[in-house]
């Protein structure tokens, strides 16, 4: 990967759509598309080989759910950030994708400029959902029954500080500056706290923390 460029693998079973999307994204100076894949089984192998920064993953790959690819990528411990593409916006499916580690859910009806914005946001460590889904998805994550009530107590003081900064909506670089840490140290703390909380995404960890009483600070409201 060229320094400073975001590498993308596109996984979509509609060749005309995926090839046209790859061509458009490749025209951006900081985006690179090394592979376009139509089949779920091939996608898992290609992602492991190419190690992209971001994967654009169709929610449905023929008769198979794209979530099977998402689950396999996470089991392979890939560091790729997953953006789900879908023609539908079913809250249950969005919540399932977030639990499995998806960073964003983007309607296929949106324009490419919006998708490019989401790609850059996700590549920099943020999450993204359509505005109309944020409330229902967070409500589902916050109020569903869970078996993780005491897991917050297992966090170290520093991990809890990082989690509090996540609740405030800070990016990794923002957290590093706020806590006087290096971005790599923040990344390590973030990975550790997600593992302890058995969460696959920042959004899921934030929902868990909010469910058990952690609230945004004054910093987030100013």
pTM of the model: 0.66
Co-location of 37 and 127 in the same domain: yes
Parallel/antiparallel/unpaired status of strands 104-107 and 60-61: unpaired
> Is 1 within the bounds of a domain?
no
pLDDT of residue 21: 94
Co-location of 38 and 120 in the same domain: yes
> Is 70 within the bounds of a domain?
yes
CA dist 205 → 2, 5, 46, 166 (Å): 32, 28, 29, 9
pLDDT of residue 5: 86
The whole domain housing 194 covers 142-217
Task: Please tell me the distance from the alpha carbon of residue 205 to that of residue 45, in angstroms, as a whole number.
Answer: 29
Co-location of 56 and 123 in the same domain: yes
Co-location of 57 and 127 in the same domain: yes
For CA atoms 82, 38, 32, 107, give the dihedral sign: negative
Co-location of 157 and 115 in the same domain: no
Task: Please tell me the distance from the alpha carbon of residue 49 to that of residue 131, in angstroms, as a whole number.
Answer: 34
How far is C-alpha 14 from the chain's CA centre?
23
> Is 178 within the bounds of a domain?
yes
- Exposed/middle/buried for 119, CB within 10 Å: 0-12, 13-18, 19+? buried
What's the domain count of the chain?
A: 2
Residues paired with 147 in a beta bridge: none
pLDDT of residue 147: 53
pLDDT of residue 100: 82
pLDDT of residue 141: 77
Co-location of 48 and 123 in the same domain: yes
Co-location of 122 and 151 in the same domain: no
CATH at 70 = 3.40.50.2300
Residue 209 has phi, psi (to 5 degrees) of: -65, -45
> Is 175 within the bounds of a domain?
yes
Co-location of 122 and 23 in the same domain: yes
CATH at 198 = 1.10.10.10
Co-location of 111 and 12 in the same domain: yes
> Is 162 within the bounds of a domain?
yes
Q: What is the 3-state secondary structure (H, E, C) of 126-188?
A: CCECCHHHHHHHHHHHHHCCCCCCCHHHHCCHHHHHHHHHHHCCCCHHHHHHHHCCCHHHHHH
Interhelix angle 202-211/91-99, rounded to 10 degrees, is 100
Co-location of 111 and 56 in the same domain: yes
Task: Please tell me the distance from the alpha carbon of residue 47 to that of residue 118, in angstroms, as a whole number.
Answer: 20
pLDDT of residue 149: 58
Backbone φ/ψ region at 126: left (φ over 0), alpha (ψ -120 to 50), beta? beta
- pLDDT tens across the length of the chain (222 residues): 445 789 999 999 898 999 999 999 999 999 999 999 998 889 989 999 999 999 999 998 877 788 888 888 877 767 899 999 988 878 888 888 888 889 999 998 888 999 999 999 999 988 999 999 988 988 887 766 455 556 787 788 899 999 999 999 999 899 999 999 999 999 999 988 988 888 878 888 888 888 778 888 866 545
> Is 222 within the bounds of a domain?
no
> Is 137 within the bounds of a domain?
no
Co-location of 102 and 152 in the same domain: no
Spatial CA neighbour of 67 closest among 120, 11, 135: 11
> Is 156 within the bounds of a domain?
yes
pLDDT of residue 155: 86
Q: How many CB atoms lie within 10 A of CB 102?
A: 28
Co-location of 152 and 108 in the same domain: no
């Amino acid at each position: 990967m060229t320094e400073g460029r975001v590498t993308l693998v596109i996984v979509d079973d509609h060749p005309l759509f995926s090839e046209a999307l790859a061509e458009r994204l490749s025209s951006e100076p900081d985006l690179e598309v090394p592979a376009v894949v139509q089949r779920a089984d091939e996608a898992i192998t290609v992602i492991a080989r190419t190690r992209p920064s971001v994967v654009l993953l169709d929610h449905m790959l023929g008769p198979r759910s794209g979530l099977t690819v998402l689950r396999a990528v996470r089991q392979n411990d890939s560091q790729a950030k997953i953006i789900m593409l879908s023609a539908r916006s079913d809250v249950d499916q969005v919540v399932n994708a977030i639990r499995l580690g998806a960073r964003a859910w983007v309607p296929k009806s949106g324009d490419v400029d919006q998708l490019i914005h989401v790609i850059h946001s996700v590549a920099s460590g943020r999450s993204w959902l359509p505005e109309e889904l944020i409330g229902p998805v967070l409500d589902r994550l916050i109020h569903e029954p869970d078996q993780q009530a005491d897991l917050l107590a297992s966090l170290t003081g520093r991990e809890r500080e990082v989690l509090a900064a996540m609740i405030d909506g800070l990016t990794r670089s923002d957290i590093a500056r706020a806590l006087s840490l290096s971005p790599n140290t923040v990344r390590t703390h973030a990975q550790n706290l997600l593992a302890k909380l058995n969460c696959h995404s920042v959004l899921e960890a934030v929902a868990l923390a909010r469910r058990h009483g952690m609230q945004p600070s004054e910093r987030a409201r100013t």
